[in-house]
């Protein structure tokens, strides 16, 4: 009996996963993390109104969610002053990146991204047989002009660019991005991943017409809004582009309670403001912790801070591993020279205190 | 400026959706359905323990769900007496059908299914450029021997077969299916969609080794367990096959609270037994309603009943539309001769009473 006949693309894929989850580490070690500061989750939590909406939806969870995500999509359209037809809601930005890759990438097609940027995007592109071309960071910033130049050179169908960036937390002014949009070559689409923009300084959002045919903007309720476990992301783009998602997406894929929670979170902008303030304070505190150890941080527009250990990737990795043994969960960039840093998510003071104490302890044994 | 360059497969797809949701109909009519009996949701609801688990998880919804679905997968493995490596959890059976289609179907590949069976499966196959070959129902039952014969004839990579069936509710004994498994041609995989098997008579589950290389079995928490809005399905198959899902699935796609709710639902088998009893009574009641109007029903092993109007598809459609105007939501098969029927989901007595009264009213005006 022969096995199922996989497509040549899928047969050639490695059995890798983009990220190992903290729960996997906890099961391996047999210990629960005392500080969960590795996945850029928002430990300050979502708006109480969002939690309440989620809970209230539990009694109706026997019903499928609205496949059109009507109420959320219309509220988002009002919020962003675009049309509902410019918005597609999906199972997190991860889900939307998968759909978009499927829409555009056939085996051999080229895609440009920064070296060491989002592994899940790379995972989806590779999953459809795409070929990834990378551009190094420039002074710990993603380098959009060079990404665009590379896209021209290799005739790329997609550019992935996150602003603010993950894993470094660095950012560009929105106006800088806007000025570059006309340089994107014909037949190429820029994915502007703004997962962290809700936490960035005013002026970080690029301004352009949502009908611009060369940009799609991704947003999420996982970061600023604190609803990572609810899996709600959305993309904004030209109607013609957004319509194509409806050809392939899992129409009944959205959780009913998550739709309600995201809507309530959006409607509580005061909470987002408070979160921005808490994240700001946490960034400052992480910076202070770094200074204590004669280290620096990369200025951050996100809910995490990259601490520059001043050493190499091996050292940063040893810090990460030593912290994990002490039940403190953080992550780090994958690629040199950014992997000289460790990446610490913003969280409540108690968790950052645990990180501070454990970091000090660990550094003593490693130095 | 040119548009993004879609793959030829996606460019050729129509902008259709597999199903219009009841919320869309409600928005169009401006009226909320008084009886929601069209989507085979389970109006008896999930186990109270599942609702409680879902609510309790709300406070932790700022955390991503475990990408390995470890606890749920291991509990399912114990329950089905297979290994965790035989199980993949996904965003409903719909999500898993999408992944499986992606794994196997390249443009031009053949797939065999019953004429008028699950549109969402067809949607996913077409979405990857697959070519669908259909076999008519035989006496309102899916016809597995002929599906297999067709698969041999057209060298199909996939056969889709639901037991119990949707939209007719008919079923085959598990032993009948088991006896046919060796006839599946080499290089062909049978999708055994058992979404409704939790509500079927004992003996409906086919028995075979989970490592059988030619079958993948799909299950869901949406029907018997009453958690449609939570989006939790799973597939069971050979380890080698299941491992391939990890190459392409949205690893962080599962809702954290849904994982917890599904686990609690699985652990409350008493509730499932009660649900089976309620569904049984509802099926009987729907049959009585049909008899009142000198109609018959198709014997059902599911939480819905197909009422044979004794007329044609146009008549059944007029009944459906008249009921919708009266704010009663049901559905019907798409294809002749099954479309002589209307399909009514089992639900609480009050909703079925509303259906009964409105059905009687509507039939008077139509006859």
* Partners of residue B186 in chain A, C-beta under 8 Å: 1-2
Residue B323 lies in a domain: yes
Q: Is the peptide bond before A337 cis (omega within 30 degrees of 0)?
A: yes
Mark whether A111 and A142 lie in a shared domain.
Answer: yes
Cα separation, B269 vs B365, whole angstroms? 44
Return the C-alpha torsion angle B323, B325, B331, B332, nearest 10: 70
Contact present, B313 and B339 (Cβ < 8 Å): yes
Cα separation, A10 vs B216, whole angstroms? 18
Please choose, from the candidates B39, B29, B140, the residue with its C-alpha nearest in 3D space to the C-alpha of residue B344.
Answer: B39
CA-based angle A56:A61:A65, to the nearest 5? Answer: 105
Q: Which of the listed residues B212, B244, B267 is the one where a domain comes to its end?
A: B267
Question: What ipTM was assigned to the predicted interfaces of this complex?
Answer: 0.97
Asked if the Cβ–Cβ distance from A41 to B64 is below 8 Å, we say yes
Range of the domain at B321: 19-45+270-366
Helix (H, G, I), strand (E, B) or coil at A130: coil
Sign of the CA dihedral with B219 first, then B178, B339, and B322 last: negative
Mark whether A33 and A77 lie in a shared domain.
Answer: no
Asked if the Cβ–Cβ distance from A64 to B14 is below 8 Å, we say no
Using CA coordinates, name the residue in chain A closest to B95.
A250
Mean pLDDT, range B72-94, rounded to an integer: 98
Run of H or E including A304: strand A304-308
Q: Is the peptide bond before B311 cis (omega within 30 degrees of 0)?
A: no
* Partners of residue B253 in chain A, C-beta under 8 Å: 91-92, 94-95, 231
Asked if the Cβ–Cβ distance from A64 to B230 is below 8 Å, we say no
Instruction: Give pLDDT tens digits for B272-308.
Output: 999 999 999 999 999 999 999 999 999 999 999 999 9
Smallest Cα distance from A101 to chain B, Å: 10
Smallest Cα distance from A161 to chain B, Å: 16
Facing residue for A21 by CB, picked from B59, B60, B67: B67
Number of independent structural domains in chain B: 2
Asked if the Cβ–Cβ distance from B62 to A42 is below 8 Å, we say yes
Mean pLDDT, range B269-274, rounded to an integer: 98
Cα separation, A60 vs B228, whole angstroms? 9
* Partners of residue A110 in chain B, C-beta under 8 Å: none
Smallest Cα distance from A334 to chain B, Å: 19
Residue A7 lies in a domain: no
Helix (H, G, I), strand (E, B) or coil at B92: helix
Mark whether A228 and A338 lie in a shared domain.
Answer: no
Interface A-B, measured as beta-carbon pairs within 8 A, has a size of 269
Question: How many residues in chain A?
Answer: 367
Using CA coordinates, name the residue in chain B closest to A99.
B250
Mean pLDDT, range B37-59, rounded to an integer: 98
Mark whether A281 and A156 lie in a shared domain.
Answer: no
Q: Are strands A35-36 and A328-329 parallel, antiparallel or unpaired?
A: parallel
Instruction: Give pLDDT tens digits for B315-339.
Output: 999 999 999 999 999 999 999 999 9
Facing residue for B94 by CB, picked from A62, A230, A250: A250
Smallest Cα distance from A126 to chain B, Å: 9
| CA distance readout (Å), A316 to A35, A110, B24, B185, B365 | 18, 32, 52, 54, 77
Smallest Cα distance from A347 to chain B, Å: 11
What pLDDT, on a 0 to 100 scale, did the predictor assign at position B286?
A: 98
* Interface with chain A: mutation pick from B111, B212, B249, B252, highest number of A CBs within 10 Å: B252
Facing residue for A65 by CB, picked from B14, B44, B229: B229
Asked if the Cβ–Cβ distance from A251 to B51 is below 8 Å, we say no
Supply the CATH number for residue B309's domain.
3.90.1150.10
Residue A350 lies in a domain: yes
Using CA coordinates, name the residue in chain A closest to B6.
A104
CA-based angle B133:B336:B140, to the nearest 5? Answer: 80
What pLDDT, on a 0 to 100 scale, did the predictor assign at position B366?
A: 93
For chain B, give the mean pLDDT.
Answer: 97
Contact present, B177 and B147 (Cβ < 8 Å): no
Smallest Cα distance from A146 to chain B, Å: 20
Asked if the Cβ–Cβ distance from A17 to B94 is below 8 Å, we say no
Q: What is the DSSP string of A233-253?
A: EEEE--HHHHHHHTTTS-TT-
* Partners of residue A42 in chain B, C-beta under 8 Å: 62
Of the pLDDT bands very low, low, confident and very high (cuts 50, 70, 90), residue B16 is: confident
Q: What is the DSSP string of B126-169?
A: HHTT-EEEEE--BTTB--HHHHHHHHHHHT-SEEEEESS-TTT-
What pLDDT, on a 0 to 100 scale, did the predictor assign at position A18?
A: 79
Using CA coordinates, name the residue in chain A closest to B52.
A58
CA-based angle B327:B328:B333, to the nearest 5? Answer: 130
Asked if the Cβ–Cβ distance from B46 to A62 is below 8 Å, we say yes
Mean pLDDT, range B64-79, rounded to an integer: 98
Task: List, in sequence order, every residue forming a beta bridge with A297; answer none if it has no partner.
Answer: A307
Run of H or E including A119: helix A119-127
Mark whether B250 and B274 lie in a shared domain.
Answer: no
Residue B2 lies in a domain: no
Cα separation, A235 vs A98, whole angstroms? 12
The first and second tokens of residue B155, run together, are 């060298």
The first and second tokens of residue B345, run together, are 């989901």
Asked if the Cβ–Cβ distance from B4 to A104 is below 8 Å, we say yes
Residue A216 lies in a domain: yes
* Partners of residue B151 in chain A, C-beta under 8 Å: none
Cα separation, A107 vs A102, whole angstroms? 11
Chain-centroid distance, C-alpha B321: 23
Residue B4 lies in a domain: no
Contact present, B194 and B219 (Cβ < 8 Å): yes
Instruction: Give pLDDT tens digits for A209-244.
Output: 999 999 999 999 999 999 999 999 999 999 999 999
Residues of chain A with pLDDT under 70: 1
Of the pLDDT bands very low, low, confident and very high (cuts 50, 70, 90), residue B1 is: low
What pLDDT, on a 0 to 100 scale, did the predictor assign at position A1?
A: 57
Residue B120 CB coordination number (10 Å):
18
Q: Which of the listed residues B232, B267, B302 is the one where a domain comes to its end?
A: B267
Smallest Cα distance from A199 to chain B, Å: 16
* Partners of residue A15 in chain B, C-beta under 8 Å: 243-244, 246-247
Cα separation, B308 vs B316, whole angstroms? 9
Using CA coordinates, name the residue in chain B closest to A4.
B187
Cα separation, B146 vs B144, whole angstroms? 5
Q: Which of the listed residues A249, A267, A285 is the one where a domain comes to its end?
A: A267
Residue A158 lies in a domain: yes
Q: Which residue has the tokens 């903290």?
A: A22
> What residues contact residue B166 under an 8 Å CB cut-off, 6+ apart?
B40, B117, B118, B195, B196, B302, B304
Facing residue for A51 by CB, picked from B27, B58, B228: B58
Mark whether A244 and A276 lie in a shared domain.
Answer: no
Mark whether B145 and B243 lie in a shared domain.
Answer: yes
* Interface with chain B: mutation pick from A227, A250, A329, A348, highest number of B CBs within 10 Å: A250
Mark whether A241 and A300 lie in a shared domain.
Answer: no
Global pTM value: 0.97
Contact present, A159 and A148 (Cβ < 8 Å): yes
Run of H or E including B296: strand B296-297
Task: List, in sequence order, every residue forming a beta bridge with A296; answer none if it has no partner.
Answer: A308
What pLDDT, on a 0 to 100 scale, did the predictor assign at position A177?
A: 98
Mark whether B341 and B292 lie in a shared domain.
Answer: yes
Q: What is the DSSP letter of A141?
A: B
Facing residue for B253 by CB, picked from A2, A5, A94: A94
Asked if the Cβ–Cβ distance from B229 to A257 is below 8 Å, we say yes
Chain-centroid distance, C-alpha A175: 21
Asked if the Cβ–Cβ distance from A19 to B67 is below 8 Å, we say yes
Mark whether A40 and A54 lie in a shared domain.
Answer: no
Q: Are strands B158-162 and A328-329 parallel, antiparallel or unpaired?
A: unpaired
Mark whether A283 and A263 lie in a shared domain.
Answer: no
Contact present, B307 and B341 (Cβ < 8 Å): yes
Smallest Cα distance from A104 to chain B, Å: 4
Q: Estimate the crossing angle of helix B256-267 against helix B70-80, to 10 degrees.
A: 20
Residue A347 lies in a domain: yes
Using CA coordinates, name the residue in chain B closest to A124.
B248
Whether pLDDT at B90 is above 90? yes
* Interface with chain B: mutation pick from A71, A257, A275, highest number of B CBs within 10 Å: A257
Mark whether B286 and B236 lie in a shared domain.
Answer: no
Supply the CATH number for residue A55's domain.
3.40.640.10
Using CA coordinates, name the residue in chain B closest to A221.
B62
């Amino acid at each position: 009996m022969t096995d199922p006949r996989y497509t040549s693309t899928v047969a050639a894929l490695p059995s890798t996963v983009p990220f190992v989850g903290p729960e996997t580490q906890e099961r391996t070690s047999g210990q629960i993390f005392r500080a969960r500061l590795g996945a850029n989750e928002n430990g300050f939590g979502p708006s109480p109104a969002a939690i309440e909406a989620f809970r209230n939806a539990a009694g109706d969870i026997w019903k499928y969610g609205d496949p059109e995500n009507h109420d959320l999509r219309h509220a988002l359209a009002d919020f962003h002053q675009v049309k509902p037809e410019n918005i597609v809601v999906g199972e997190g930005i991860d889900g939307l990146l998968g759909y978009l890759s499927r829409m555009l990438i056939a085996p051999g097609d080229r895609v440009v991204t920064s070296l060491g940027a989002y592994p899940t995007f790379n995972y989806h592109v590779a999953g459809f047989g795409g070929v990834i071309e990378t551009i190094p960071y420039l002074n710990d910033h993603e380098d959009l002009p060079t990404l665009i130049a590379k896209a021209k050179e290799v005739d790329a169908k997609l550019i992935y660019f996150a602003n603010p960036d993950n894993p470094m937390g660095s950012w560009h002014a929105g106006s800088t991005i806007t000025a570059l949009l006309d340089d994107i070559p014909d037949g190429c689409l820029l994915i502007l991943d703004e997962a962290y923009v809700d936490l960035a300084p005013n002026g970080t959002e690029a301004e352009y017409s949502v009908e611009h045919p060369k940009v799609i903007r991704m947003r999420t309720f996982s970061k600023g809004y604190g609803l990572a476990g609810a899996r709600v992301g959305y993309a904004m783009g030209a109607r013609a582009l957004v319509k194509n998602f409806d050809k392939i997406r899992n129409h009944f894929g959205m959780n009913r309670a998550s739709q309600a929670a995201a809507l309530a979170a959006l409607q509580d902008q005061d909470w987002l403001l408070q979160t921005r303030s808490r994240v700001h304070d946490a960034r400052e505190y992480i910076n202070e912790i770094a200074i204590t150890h004669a280290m620096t941080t990369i200025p951050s527009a996100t809910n995490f801070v990259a601490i520059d250990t001043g050493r190499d990737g091996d050292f940063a990795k040893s810090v990460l591993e030593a912290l994990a043994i002490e039940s403190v969960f953080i992550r780090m960039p994958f690629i040199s020279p950014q992997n000289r840093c460790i990446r610490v998510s913003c969280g409540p003071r108690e968790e950052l205190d645990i990180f501070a104490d454990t970091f000090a302890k660990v550094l003593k044994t490693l130095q």
